[in-house]
Structure 1
Amino acid sequence: MKAISQKEVTKLKECHRPVFDLAIRTADMLVRMFGARCEVAVHDFSDLKKSLIHIAGDITDRKIGSPITDLVLNELAKHKNEVNDIANYKTQSKKGNVMKSSTIFLRDDENKVIGALCLNYDISLLMQFGGEIEQFISFDEHSSKSETFFNSVQDVIHEMVDQVLQGFKKAPSLMTLEEKVECVRQLEDKGTFLIKGATDYVASVLGVSKFTIYNYLQKIRTINELQPEAALEHK
């Protein structure tokens, strides 16, 4: 089990320590109970680019200091503090193993989301058995969501930008002003700009300055605040 160091523990806000201490103990106990095919990660949202503070088990090959996943980032961007726990969705490791996953969002005394406990269980072998375990390996509505595990925050940003650019079917240099604004709007919806450094990277890809990206974002956020119905139509 890859435990958070004592130095890192001391960085946690004192008022949040009981929440993360319990999450870490729970993670370790779940892996002890369910064995080598189980992995439980604990994330601290105070720094999304290196949010992984504890991981028990080793299915996704991540280490302490790895960034948040794109699925969790998307949920935070869409629902913010109203985000709900996500149960029984389908994910896949880099090795191709199919996993059944769930995410519990951790909250402080004021009910503010401060982190997450994420459970991954490798069901590849179980899927071969079929029949009697069909109910166990069924997935809920969130199974249609995709989630990728990364070892660096740059990979998170690059993947999210690549996903959006694929929808335009043209090189960024050939995109019109309206298309670039739409690209930034989609990245905003995905929570891309919650990550430090994303603005500089998006600016370089689109061939504009970071101040231009800031202007795009200001207009987009103003429209979303004034016309929430119009913003929802894009989603």
Structure 2
Amino acid sequence: MSVYDDFDFLKRLIKGIAEQFGPNCEVTIHDLKAGYEHSIIAIENGHVTGRKVGDVASRIAMETIHSNLEHKDHYSYSTRTSDGRILKSTTICIPDENGEVKALLCINYDITQLIISNNIMQDFVSIKEEKTDGDDVAIPTDVNQLLEDLIKESYELVGKPVAVMTKDDKMKAIKYLESKGALLIKKSGDKISKFYDISKYSLYSYLNSDEE
């Protein structure tokens, strides 16, 4: 059984694949009986590798031809064009009625620009400074939200309900808030004092304390 018995179907198949994935996707059919040097009998988007009908097979196709037509598909491997572009390739064996490989369907997708774009995106999204607590810094919608977020962080830092916090616990929380600039927010002292159930006098005494 010749590959040409299915030729119309194979031509429609590779055209459908090429149309689905666009001009960077080359799809070829190789007739293994035609020999390595002239194995391409159908091709879509040949500009990807610069080949046409009657041209040479790829290295993987050559290895398949050389291996006595052994049935072995190859998926998602890397190849390279003569001008250095990188392709993501797949080679699928097409058997005859006896199970012997009579042809190959090969897909070569040019991923060069995708790799460049990916490298740019990786550089763009990379984080140079990691927070020690492992959490992302929230972006508040207004200054009140900012203060509430900071108070919540100070509370979580201590890790106790306010009702059972000692003076040292509250001082730790207040020092944290000071380090984050919370006291720069207008009327923040009132809200912080209320949250930690202390007087404003105690608040500022904690701030002026040299204790850690």
The two structures have a TM-score, normalised by structure 1, of 0.46
Distance 1:109 1:68, change over 3 A: same
Equivalent position of 2:24 in the other structure: 37
Query: Which sections of structure 1, spanning at least 5 residues, go unmatched?
Result: 1-12, 135-235
The CA distance in 1 between the partners of 2:69 and 2:48, in whole Å, is: 29
What is residue 59 of structure 2 aligned with on the other side? 70
Compared CA separation, residues 17 and 75, structure 1 to 2 (3 A): closer
1:86 alignment partner in structure 2: 74
- Structure 1 position 18, deviation (Å): 4.3
Q: Tell me which structure has the larger Cα radius of gyration.
A: 2
Aligned length: 119
Q: Which amino acid aligns with 2:83?
A: K
Q: 2:93 maps to which residue? A: 105
Q: Secondary structure at the match of 2:28?
A: strand
Judged with a 3 Å threshold, the aligned counterparts in structure 2 of structure 1 residues 46 and 77 are, in CA distance, closer, same or farther, namely closer
Q: Is the 8 A contact 1:52 1:68 kept in 2?
A: yes
Aligned with residue 39 of structure 2, among 51, 65, 74? 51
Alignment of 1:115 onto 2:103:
yes
Q: Given that residues 31 and 38 in structure 1 are in contact (C-alpha distance below 8 angstroms), is that contact kept between their aligned partners in structure 2?
A: yes
- Counterpart code for 1:117: L
Which of 100, 103, 113 is equivalent to 1:125? 113
Distance in structure 1 (CA, Å) of the matches to 2:108 and 2:24: 8
Q: Is the 8 A contact 2:64 2:70 kept in 1?
A: no
The one-letter code of the counterpart of 1:40 is V
Distance in 2 between residues matched to 1:24 and 1:68, nearest whole Å? 17
Which amino acid in the other structure matches residue 9 of structure 2?
L
Work out whether residues 42 and 115 of structure 1, in 8 Å CA contact, stay in contact via their aligned partners in 2. yes
Q: Percent identity among equivalent residues?
A: 29
Kindly indicate whether the alpha-carbon contact (under 8 Å) linking 1:19 and 1:107 is maintained by their aligned counterparts in 2: no
Amino acid at match of 2:34: D
Task: Letter of the 1:54 partner, please give it.
Answer: A
**How large is the RMSD of aligned CA atoms in angstroms?**
2.2
Distance in 1 (alpha carbons) for counterparts of 2:48 and 2:55:
14
Q: Tell me the secondary structure at the aligned position of residue 33 of structure 2.
A: coil
Residue type of the partner of 1:61? Answer: G
**Partner Cα separation in structure 2 for residue 21 and residue 95 of structure 1:** 32
Q: Could you tell me how far apart the structure 2 residues matched to 1:111 and 1:22 are? A: 19
User: Could you list the runs of 5+ residues in structure 2 that have no partner in the other structure?
Assistant: 123-212
Residue equivalent to 1:144: none
**1:86-141 Cα deviation digits (max 9, x unpaired):** 0011011122111100001111111111111100000011112328x99xxxxxxx
DSSP-derived class of the 2:56 partner: coil
The letter of the residue matching 1:96 is G
